[in-house]
């Protein structure tokens, strides 16, 4: 796909009764029902640039337009005359890099967190000299070559992979093809984090291969695990379990439905020098937890980090029931005086609703306890101040008796 011009090629206008103040004050999205969708607007190519105007006061911002998306416009710059070129991208990527360099001694982190880093729809995770990019908005997909070039120039990474999978690209009307953009990777990448070594499958794993967002929650849970037995449910490549073993847990059992993920978890345990204390069990998490309860298994720390059960408002009720069930099953496996960690990456499930579902689950398990900590995404996953969706991750930790 040829990259459109670096400056605006069209104009779109808010409907007369739509309040422009949210955009003026920094809200980054405009929905299809908020703009005048005449033939000229509908004819704009996905990813093209336009000036967003208020019917009464004139230009508001430079936006990227996608008539095929529910989010018809994403604000790129509050300056309607801005040029979306290499210099513009350099400024934003360098600003993001400076923040991560201050946070972390080693270059393993989320480098770009979409709107919160001023690059709408763009996710970039860094694994040393390798970067995995998810261009989840049409404007970035159309400018992928330029974005890759600037990314390499600013950060010094030598290999860039594109991950095209995921719900976000579908909603933008984009394909789901993944491919190397620069360089190549031979296999899983070792990632040092919280005293453990994780193996990230950046070619075929979930998302970009590793969930950096849980880094701080891994560390908090690991502090509860010293000298104890740990159950890590929905473990992926061993996120909570490996951190717990590195902190001195006696044992960890990782449960996941994916054989490849558990294989990587076992390899990570061996690379971390804790392989003899690490076990895996493959299967449906709900069924495995039920079986463990029937076996009268007990753990000093149980962590459940499921996928997004409520990815949208339409799925919220069913998702909250699923979180309640996870809490009930997880609580039944906690030894008296032990700890239970419950996580949600569903932005539609607010912290209040998620907490209520978890507490109901504890009650249904016949357990009582106290909330000892509430965790969120690590600071390499900043929240956009006006975009609730960017604060998707929640983690609740209970002491249970």
Neighbours of 260 (CB within 10 A): 14
Q: Which two tokens stand for residue 141?
A: 């997909």
**304 is annotated as an active-site residue:** no
Rounded distance, CA 55 to CA 59, Å? 9
Length reported for the chain: 401
Rounded distance, CA 34 to CA 39, Å? 16
Helices marked H in 46-166? 86-103, 138-142, 144-155
Are 376 and 220 in contact by the 8 Å Cβ rule? The answer is no
Are 158 and 182 in contact by the 8 Å Cβ rule? The answer is yes
Q: What are phi and psi of 29, to 5 degrees?
A: -120, 150
**Packed helices 351-364 and 316-331: angle between N→C axes, nearest 10 degrees:** 40
Report the helix count and the strand count for the chain, using DSSP H and E: 12, 19
- The catalytically annotated residue of 152, 304, 343, 345 is 345
Bridge partners (DSSP) listed for residue 144: none
Rounded distance, CA 304 to CA 340, Å? 8
Are 23 and 55 in contact by the 8 Å Cβ rule? The answer is no
Hey, is 204 helix, strand or coil?
Answer: coil
Task: Supply the residues annotated as catalytic.
Answer: 345
């Amino acid at each position: 796909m040829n990259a459109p011009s670096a400056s605006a090629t069209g104009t779109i206008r808010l409907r007369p009764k739509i309040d422009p103040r949210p955009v003026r004050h920094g809200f980054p999205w405009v929905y299809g029902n908020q703009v005048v969708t005449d033939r000229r607007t509908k004819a704009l190519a996905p990813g093209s640039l336009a000036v967003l105007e208020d019917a009464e006061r004139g230009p508001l911002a430079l936006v990227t337009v996608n008539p095929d998306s529910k989010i018809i416009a994403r604000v790129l710059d509050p300056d309607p005359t801005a040029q979306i070129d290499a210099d513009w991208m350099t400024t934003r990527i360098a600003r993001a890099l400076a923040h991560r360099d201050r946070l972390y001694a080693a270059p393993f982190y989320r480098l770009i967190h979409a709107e919160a880093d001023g690059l709408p729809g763009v996710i970039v995770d860094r694994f040393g000299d390798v970067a995995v990019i998810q261009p989840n908005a049409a404007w970035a997909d159309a400018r992928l070559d330029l974005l890759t070039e600037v990314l390499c120039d600013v950060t010094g990474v030598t290999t860039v992979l594109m991950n095209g999978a995921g719900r976000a690209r579908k909603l933008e009307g984009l394909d789901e093809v993944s491919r190397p953009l620069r360089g190549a990777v031979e296999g899983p990448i070792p990632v040092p984090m919280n005293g453990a070594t994780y193996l990230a499958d950046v070619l075929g794993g979930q998302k970009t291969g590793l969930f950096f967002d849980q880094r701080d929650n891994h560390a908090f849970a690991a502090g509860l695990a010293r000298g104890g037995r740990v159950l890590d449910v929905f473990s992926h490549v061993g996120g909570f379990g490996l951190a717990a073993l590195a902190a001195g847990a006696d044992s960890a059992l990782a449960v996941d439905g994916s054989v490849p993920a558990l294989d990587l978890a076992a390899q990570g345990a061996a690379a971390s020098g804790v392989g003899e204390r690490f076990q895996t069990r493959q299967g449906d998490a709900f069924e495995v937890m039920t079986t463990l309860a029937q076996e009268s298994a007990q753990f000093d720390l149980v962590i459940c980090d499921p996928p997004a059960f409520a990815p949208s408002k339409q799925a919220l009720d069913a998702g909250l029931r699923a979180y309640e069930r996870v809490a009930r099953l997880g609580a039944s496996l906690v030894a008296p005086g032990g700890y239970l960690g419950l996580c949600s990456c569903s932005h539609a499930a607010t912290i209040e609703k998620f907490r209520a579902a978890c507490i109901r689950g504890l009650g249904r398990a016949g357990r009582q306890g106290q909330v000892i900590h509430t965790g969120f995404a690590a600071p390499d996953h900043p929240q956009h101040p006006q975009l609730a969706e960017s604060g998707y991750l929640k983690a609740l930790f209970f002491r249970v008796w």
